[in-house]
Chain A
Amino acid sequence: MSTKTDKIDRLAELTAQQESSSGASLWREALKRLRASKMALVGAWIIAVFLLLAIIGPWVAPYAPGQQWRGEVFVNRAEFVGARAENWFGLDHLGRDIFSRMLVGARQTLLLGVVSTLIGLSVGALIGSFSGACATLGGRVGQRIDSVVMRCIDIMLALPSLLLAVSVAAVLGQSMTTVMIAIGVVQIPVFARLLRGAMLVQGGSDYVLAAHSLGIRKRRIVLTQIMPNSLSPVIVQATLSLATAIIEAAALSFLGLGNPDSAKNPEWGVMLTQAQNYADSAPMMAVYPALAIIITALGFTLLGEAMREALDPKLRG
């Protein structure tokens, strides 16, 4: 683990160095343009509300997530309790307050999205940058290494993501950590390919050739020229991945691999999959978590797309 953190640290350090020596105003300008973008604004607001809920949710929820109203919901007779003054979103199949569970669940959902994306991003970026560096500066041996690594990544990519996640979950056993790792692992090949692909594109560009002709060392070219120019797709992808991670978690819990302790720790994905069983008699039970997931995913997607635009130096006015 320590070598990994070392590598990520070094990466962060070097990109930071690049920013301070030359690209500073460019990133600053990107931020400025991001602020001016309506898309980014909407996305940022949605995410801000989501974050706020994740933080204060458990405290403002009117009821405990596990609290049950007995004798009101009869699943086998298809009798459910809809929205009412006491329970704003109604009760679920076990007679629990959906509104409270949504509020409390925001935190779990956010944690899941962030942690799994971080796993995918960090591992994927490491593999991708390694492979990309090998391919762009390693000569024949490097290209060999790169092609071996990429074939492995391709195999991972070729597996259906759910199958991959299920295999990971099967090995690790049922828990929240499992879900995070499983979804993180699924994202690894995406990030790796993305970064490596971007590095190859940049590596073949004229300005990199120009840097070579100036007599700049290869390692420095990779770190100060190729890497900073390859990062923006990865950053954008990370934002977009937060959205898919939440949805994939829902799929995993549908297969019974999600959070085992869903009574006390509700999570939107789990709530959605549970609600599917009662879609005929209580459709609203699915609508609330589904809407919440869609809106949140939309928020991240909007921000991601806005970032993609803002980070594109060619669009700068």
Chain B
Amino acid sequence: MSLLELDDVKVHFPVKKGLIFDRTVGHVYAVDGVSLSVEEGQTYGLVGESGCGKTTLGRSVLRLVDITDGSVNFDGTDLAKLPAEEMRTFRRRLQMVFQDPLGSLNPRQNIESILSEGMAAHGIGGTREERREKIRDILAKVGLPANALARYPHEFSGGQRQRIGIARALVLEPDVIICDEPVSALDVSIQAQVINLLEELQESLGLTYLVIAHDLAVVRHISDVIGVMYLGSLVEEAPSDALYAEPRHPYTKALMSAVPVPDPEVEDRRERILLTGDLPSPANPPAGCRFHTRCPWAQDTLCATERPALKDVGGGHKVACHFAAEIAAGTVERTAASVVPATREEMADRVVETPAE
């Protein structure tokens, strides 16, 4: 059994309106039935456009948002049904690194206070001096100077702040760390450093990661398995190499076609897929296949009426598309409008927009 198993997890946020008392007038189906499992010591990469529910899914694992339905099995315990106080103690083993390094650090707490608070909450570390010793050790691990202890978050650079965020998670000696777009707020030159740090820590501490990104490039190298999310559910899941070698779902194909290839020869011939329309609102998702409003391969049958399940197509490669096999075999055509000949000039405006939040 995997260390972390999500089964049909749903997170629906009620939309409220009302003058005196709030009435529920609808729901935002932020996460709508996601099942995935993360093996111990491995990295699961979760990608998808902004607003597709990645953050919400990550938070639901730690029960930072209310889980509407489904189960989150961690090491044999269903977190979704745990009483609040037990869930609190479980949080030691499941930690989170946030997207916004500065915003996720209390401006009025110095680094020592930030790092020792979690230990105090779980009664680990013993005396103040012992805790400090441990914090120094962790600071060295994440590459921060020991004199950082008495300083405040605003005194550090973006990359250093994210290291503080990582250190805060590490002091509790967690089994799983959920990294919610850990580098998207950082300078490109710093991103690789932080990703490398995460990899090193995984190796030396045997950590299990769920890494969230809106950009395939970020998760490519560190993930063992990648899941692609669209509008609240997974559309494709495969071992990292298999997904890159042969993306099967039309949405993944579109995402991949937006990533430039370093080889100019290949780049010039690269096929590009244009996604028309915007991401539909998760408050009012399309019926049938969620992707049918933008899918270049959408067919008249099934697509608009039946929601495809995530099915194994062999070798642990799972796809949620009625026509996955036909598309792979080339027996269904895609609409002409979506075919864009690749030119280098077009490199600048990417086909699939993945705006940073």
Show the binding face of A for B, using Cβ within 8 Å. 18, 21-23, 25-26, 144, 147, 151, 205-207, 209-217, 220, 225, 228-229, 313-314, 316
Contact = CB atoms under 8 A, between A and B. Distances in A.
Contact of A228 (B21, B64, B108): B108
A215 B103 contact: no
Interface of B: 20-22, 59, 62, 64, 88-92, 95-96, 98, 100, 103-110, 112-113, 117-118, 121-122, 150, 152, 154, 165, 168, 172
B106 A215 contact: no
Contacts of A212: 62, 64, 91
Contacts of B105: 207, 210
B154 A209 contact: no
B154 A313 contact: yes
Given A21-B113, A147-B21, A209-B64, A216 B118 contact: yes
Contact of B108 (A22, A214, A215, A217): A22
B108 A26 contact: yes
A contact face: mostly helix, strand, loop, or mixed: helix
29 contacts: A21-B113, A22-B110, A22-B113, A23-B108, A25-B110, A151-B20, A205-B103, A206-B100, A206-B104, A207-B105, A207-B107, A209-B98, A209-B104, A211-B117, A213-B64, A213-B91, A214-B91, A215-B90, A215-B91, A215-B118, A215-B121, A216-B117, A217-B88, A225-B109, A229-B107, A313-B108, A313-B152, A314-B107, A316-B152
Given A213-B64, A214-B117, 17 more contacts: A18-B108, A22-B108, A22-B109, A23-B108, A23-B109, A25-B150, A25-B152, A26-B108, A205-B103, A207-B103, A213-B62, A215-B89, A215-B118, A216-B121, A217-B88, A229-B106, A313-B108
B296 to A, nearest CB: 37
A151 to B, nearest CB: 6
Contacts of A206: 98, 100, 103-104
B104 A215 contact: no
A210 B108 contact: no
B contact face: mostly helix, strand, loop, or mixed: loop
B107 A313 contact: yes
A88 to B, nearest CB: 50
Contacts of B91: 212-215
Contact of B95 (A22, A209, A213, A316): A213
A64 B112 CA distance: 61
A217 B121 contact: yes
Task: Give the most central of A144, A209, A217, A316: most B CB within 10 Å.
Answer: A209
Contact of A210 (B89, B104, B113, B152): B104
Contact of B96 (A21, A25, A144, A213): A213
A217 B87 CA distance: 11
Contacts of B154: 313-314, 316
Nearest to A24: B110
B106 A225 contact: yes
A26 B108 CA distance: 7
Contacts of B62: 212-213
Nearest to A210: B104
Contacts of B90: 215
B197 to A, nearest CB: 19
Contacts of A207: 103-107
A314 B108 CA distance: 10
A209 B20 CA distance: 28
